[in-house]
């Protein structure tokens, strides 16, 4: 039986030819349809079509701007990139939920053969900038003493954390993986992001207080800021999480909005995390007015068929859940379906969008005691 063809992209004729060459080089059979035979170059738009089974691989190419780069067209050679050491970054503040994040990080690092970096950012308040010049010297001695006290405490806390981890490794409560401790001065979320840009961690793991956070925590959560601004995958672990190893995860709730980018993100997520044995609930959070929307049900049917073809070994369920203001329906769904981890995709947005329309991931940080895996699209 001949396989169905699907439209991958609608492009100008010249760009379609470039994409066709790229797909040919990747071994993906493809066809250009709706070409203006008389004047193909000025065709308003042609379809690049491929076999349905090749869709996951092709989507990665079409969503990346790299397929239009000079190196792929053939004008410049591609330079080999030095392979980075896989790192898991764990920002710590010496709290109980930081220790919970460390437990997850060390266990995951063992499975992936990664190195763990424990990063603590401390803040030193400096008041002299707001003082008259003549008074600066009078306050300098007091400031130096305050900074010395802060540094002594920070070094003592970090030393205590390092000894605690070493003791847990010796007692075989944590796996023996390579780790290092880093100290930085500044605003926590800024320094975490700066360090992440420097080392390019494959995963950032952060502890949270979960539902019992106070209102003041909600306004300035470092974890929420990192989620919004990071390019790396972030795993947020609430303090009351009943397990400390991803091996204990049996069911992941993956939130989707039915778009192509979600399919690409899911494929990347599955290829990385498939070493663990879990089932997936694919969840669409619908507004109340669209809960019975025919188009959503049609899309869900199409998604179900797509996943059945491309992930036949994965046990997946599909559900539409009401997205009310306080996420009460979603809470009920998590409890009834025994969801261990919620996975969601976070796309880059400007600061005004983040302020006035918080992402689902940011809302969840302050609302749930279930671990969150945030994949950045």
For residues 252 and 172, membership in a common domain is answered with no
Residues in the chain: 377
d(CA 124, CA 150): 7
Last residue of a domain, one of 209, 225, 241: 225
Last residue of a domain, one of 197, 225, 253: 225
The dihedral region occupied by 10, where left means phi > 0, alpha psi between -120 and 50, and beta the remainder, is beta
**Per the structure block, which two tokens stand in for 108?**
């995951």
Which residues lie closer than 8 Å to 326 by C-beta, 6 or more apart?
367
Q: Note whether residue 372 is domain-resident.
A: yes
For residues 261 and 133, membership in a common domain is answered with no
Calculate mean pLDDT across residues 333-340. 92
Q: Note whether residue 257 is domain-resident.
A: yes
Calculate mean pLDDT across residues 334-359. 72
Q: What is the model's pLDDT at position 103?
A: 93
State the total domains in the chain: 3
Q: What is the model's pLDDT at position 313?
A: 86
Does residue 201 surpass a pLDDT of 90? yes
In this prediction, what percent of the chain has a pLDDT beyond 70? 72
For residues 37 and 131, membership in a common domain is answered with no
Does residue 130 surpass a pLDDT of 50? no
For residues 304 and 370, membership in a common domain is answered with yes
For residues 238 and 363, membership in a common domain is answered with yes
Query: CA neighbours within 13 Å on the CB side: how many for 308?
Result: 8
d(CA 239, CA 248): 16
Does residue 334 surpass a pLDDT of 70? yes
User: What is the pLDDT of the chain when averaged over all its residues?
Assistant: 76
pLDDT band at 126 (very low <50, low <70, confident <90, very high): low
Q: What is the model's pLDDT at position 211?
A: 54
Question: Minimum mean pLDDT among 150-154, 242-246, 286-290, 299-303: which range?
Answer: 286-290
For residues 219 and 326, membership in a common domain is answered with no
Tell me the per-residue pLDDT of 262-288, one tens digit each, with 9 for 90 and over: 888 888 888 889 899 999 999 888 776
Q: Note whether residue 82 is domain-resident.
A: no
pLDDT band at 71 (very low <50, low <70, confident <90, very high): very low
* Residue owning tokens 């003041």: 216
Tell me the per-residue pLDDT of 166-188, one tens digit each, with 9 for 90 and over: 999 999 999 999 999 888 888 88
Q: What is the model's pLDDT at position 135?
A: 47
Calculate mean pLDDT across residues 114-143. 62
Closest alpha carbon to 181 in 261, 90, 110: 90
Calculate mean pLDDT across residues 209-224. 56
For residues 186 and 308, membership in a common domain is answered with no
Does residue 129 surpass a pLDDT of 60? no
Closest alpha carbon to 366 in 208, 244, 232: 208
Tell me the per-residue pLDDT of 58-70, one tens digit each, with 9 for 90 and over: 877 766 544 444 4
d(CA 365, CA 160): 28
Q: Note whether residue 360 is domain-resident.
A: yes
Closest alpha carbon to 161 in 141, 147, 181, 144: 181
Tell me the per-residue pLDDT of 79-124, one tens digit each, with 9 for 90 and over: 333 334 589 999 998 888 888 899 999 999 999 999 999 999 887 6
**Per the structure block, which two tokens stand in for 135?**
């008074």
Question: Minimum mean pLDDT among 152-161, 163-172, 220-229, 315-324: which range?
Answer: 220-229
pLDDT band at 297 (very low <50, low <70, confident <90, very high): low
| C-alpha to C-alpha distances, 151 to 94, 143, 157, 183, 189, nearest whole angstrom | 15, 12, 10, 10, 19
For residues 156 and 110, membership in a common domain is answered with yes
Q: What is the model's pLDDT at position 252?
A: 95
Strongest mean pLDDT among 83-97, 129-143, 236-250 = 236-250
Does residue 21 surpass a pLDDT of 90? no
Containing structural domain, residue 39: 5-73
Last residue of a domain, one of 225, 244, 264: 225
Question: Minimum mean pLDDT among 27-41, 212-226, 263-277: which range?
Answer: 212-226
What CATH number is associated with residue 261? 3.40.50.12370
More confident residue, 82 or 309: 309
For residues 247 and 362, membership in a common domain is answered with yes
What CATH number is associated with residue 139? 3.40.50.620
User: SS in 3 state form for the chain?
Assistant: CCCCEEEEEEECHHHHHHHHHHHHHCCCCEEEECCCCCCHHHCCCEEEEEEHHHHHHHHHHHHCHHHHCHHHHCCCCCCCCCCCCCEEEEECCCCHHHHHHHHHHHHHHHHHCCEEEEEEEECCCCCHHHCCHHHHHHHHHHHHHHHHHHHHHHHHHHHHHHHHHHHHHHCCCCCCCCEEEEEEECCHHHHHHHHHHHHCCCEEEEEECHHHCCHHHHHCCHHHHHHHHCCCEEEEEECCCCCCCHHHCCEEEEECCCCHHHHHHHHHHHHHHCCCCCEEEEEEEECHHHCCCHHHHHHHHHHHHHHHHHCCCCCEEEEEEECCCCCHHHHHHHHHCCCCEEEEEECCCCHHHHHHCCCHHHHHHCCCCCCEEEEEC
Calculate mean pLDDT across residues 24-31. 85
Query: CA neighbours within 13 Å on the CB side: how many for 184?
Result: 19
Query: CA neighbours within 13 Å on the CB side: how many for 214?
Result: 1
For residues 117 and 183, membership in a common domain is answered with yes
d(CA 347, CA 205): 19
Q: What is the model's pLDDT at position 76?
A: 39
Closest alpha carbon to 285 in 345, 374, 210, 217: 345
Q: What is the model's pLDDT at position 138?
A: 47
Query: CA neighbours within 13 Å on the CB side: how many for 112?
Result: 24
Q: What is the model's pLDDT at position 83?
A: 39
């Amino acid at each position: 039986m001949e396989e169905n063809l699907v439209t991958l992209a609608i492009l100008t004729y010249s760009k379609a030819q470039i994409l066709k060459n790229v797909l040919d080089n990747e071994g993906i059979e493809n066809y250009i349809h709706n070409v203006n035979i008389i004047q193909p170059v000025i065709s308003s738009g042609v379809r690049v079509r491929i076999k349905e089974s090749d869709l996951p691989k092709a989507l990665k190419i079409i969503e990346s701007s790299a397929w239009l780069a000079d190196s792929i067209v053939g004008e410049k050679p591609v330079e080999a990139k030095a392979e980075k050491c896989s790192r898991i970054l764990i920002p710590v503040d010496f709290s109980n939920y930081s220790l919970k994040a460390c437990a997850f990080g060390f266990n995951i690092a063992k499975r992936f053969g990664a190195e763990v970096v424990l990063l603590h950012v401390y803040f030193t308040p400096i008041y002299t900038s707001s003082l008259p010049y003549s008074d600066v010297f009078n306050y300098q001695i007091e400031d130096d003493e305050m900074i010395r006290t802060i540094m002594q405490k920070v070094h003592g806390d970090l030393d205590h954390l390092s000894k605690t981890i070493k003791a847990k490794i010796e007692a075989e409560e944590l796996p023996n993986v390579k780790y290092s401790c880093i100290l930085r001065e500044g605003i926590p979320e800024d320094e975490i992001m700066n360090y992440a840009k420097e080392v390019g961690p494959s995963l950032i793991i952060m502890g949270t207080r979960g539902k019992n956070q106070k209102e003041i925590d909600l306004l300035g959560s470092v974890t929420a800021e990192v989620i919004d601004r990071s390019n790396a995958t972030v795993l947020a672990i609430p303090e009351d999480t009943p397990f400390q190893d991803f091996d204990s995860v049996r069911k992941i709730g993956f939130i989707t909005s039915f778009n192509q980018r979600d399919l690409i993100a899911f494929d990347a997520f599955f290829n990385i995390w498939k070493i663990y044995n879990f089932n997936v609930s694919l969840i669409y959070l619908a507004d109340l007015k669209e809960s019975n929307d025919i188009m959503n049900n049609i899309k869900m049917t199409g998604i179900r068929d797509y996943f059945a073809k491309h992930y036949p070994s994965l046990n997946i369920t599909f559900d539409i859940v009401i997205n009310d203001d306080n996420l009460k329906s979603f809470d009920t769904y998590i409890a009834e379906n025994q969801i261990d981890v919620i996975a969601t995709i976070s796309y880059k947005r400007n600061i005004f969008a983040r302020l006035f329309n918080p992402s689902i991931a940011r809302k969840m940080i302050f609302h749930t005691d279930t671990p969150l895996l945030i994949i950045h699209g």
